[in-house]
């Protein structure tokens, strides 16, 4: 008999968060006006388009190359970047059903999920980075246990940080290896772990190689079938239906 899932990891970009904001060129128009650089509107919009072409998707920019919005798109204008970050938080939304799923899992099943995501900036206090800030603004942070990144692991309830995660990687699996050591100390095995994400290279293949159950989220980008995927879900209502059979 298969073991029940006790640990749930969730990818952020293009999965838990609906990444529509960066698709709106008007956002850069508003930012340019607010910093008195109206003449830069077409330039910034064009640069953003080029950046999207370079990294294939807007979510690709958000997850690993957001620093280039400041350095390349906005010419290093920190005031403009601060406005971008504020507007992004105002406009970003939860993916369909994500909020309901999180509350159900944490409150009814007693499993607080953890965000497992790439983060390039140094991990600061809860709410200082775009991901934990998003969880705070959406009223979801209390339903999550950890924020786990290559910059460190953080307890979202206490703010305690675990710097030994710095330098690890989702893609090469070193982040998952270290996480498994931590989970083993809690008596949780790989068979009791599940991850929900969209990218084969970081969210699906490495965890599956370590014995996890994998749910490929296809609500924003469907990469196609993968031998390492156990389940597919196009929204979080489907994720919940799958998880009901696993917990």
Q: Encoding tokens for residue 223?
A: 């990469």
Q: What is the pLDDT of residues 200-220, one digit of tens each?
A: 999 999 999 999 999 999 998
| The predicted structure's pLDDT at residue 19 | 65
pLDDT band at 195 (very low <50, low <70, confident <90, very high): very high
Residue 17, helix vs strand vs coil = strand
Q: What is the mean pLDDT of residues 145-163?
A: 96
Phi then psi dihedrals of residue 194, to 5 deg: -140, 145
Identify the residue with better confidence: 130 or 40.
40
pLDDT higher than threshold 60 for residue 1: no
Q: With 70 as the cut, is the pLDDT of residue 132 above it?
A: yes
Q: Look at residue 101 and tell me whether its pLDDT is greater than 80.
A: yes
| C-beta separation of 247 from 111 below 8 A | yes
CA–CA dist 160, 146 (Å, integer): 10
Closest C-alpha to 219, from 81, 8, 82, 16: 16
Position with higher pLDDT, 190 vs 56 = 190
Phi and psi at 42, nearest 5°, equal -65, -30
């Amino acid at each position: 008999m298969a073991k029940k899932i006790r640990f749930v990891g969730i990818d952020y970009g293009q999965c838990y968060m609906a990444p529509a904001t960066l698709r709106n060129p008007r956002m850069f128009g508003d930012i340019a006006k607010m910093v008195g650089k109206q003449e830069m509107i077409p330039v910034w919009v064009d640069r953003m388009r080029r950046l999207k072409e370079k990294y294939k998707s807007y979510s690709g920019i958000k997850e690993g190359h957001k620093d280039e919005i400041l350095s390349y798109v906005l010419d290093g204008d920190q005031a403009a970047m601060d406005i971008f970050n504020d507007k992004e938080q105002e406009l970003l939304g939860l993916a369909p059903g994500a909020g309901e799923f999180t509350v159900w899992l944490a409150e009814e099943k007693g499993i607080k999920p953890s965000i497992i995501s790439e983060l390039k900036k140094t991990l600061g206090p809860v709410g200082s980075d775009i991901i934990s800030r998003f969880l705070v603004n959406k009223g979801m942070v209390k339903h999550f246990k950890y924020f786990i990144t290559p910059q460190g692991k953080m307890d979202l309830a206490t703010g305690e940080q675990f710097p030994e995660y710095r330098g690890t990687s989702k893609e090469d699996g070193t982040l998952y290896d270290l996480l498994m050591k931590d989970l083993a100390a809690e008596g949780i095995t790989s068979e009791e772990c599940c991850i929900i994400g969209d990218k084969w290279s970081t969210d699906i293949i490495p965890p599956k190689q370590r014995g996890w159950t994998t749910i490929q989220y296809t609500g924003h980008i469907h990469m196609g079938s993968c031998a390492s995927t156990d389940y597919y879900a196009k929204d979080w209502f489907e994720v919940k239906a799958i998880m009901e059979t696993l917990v």
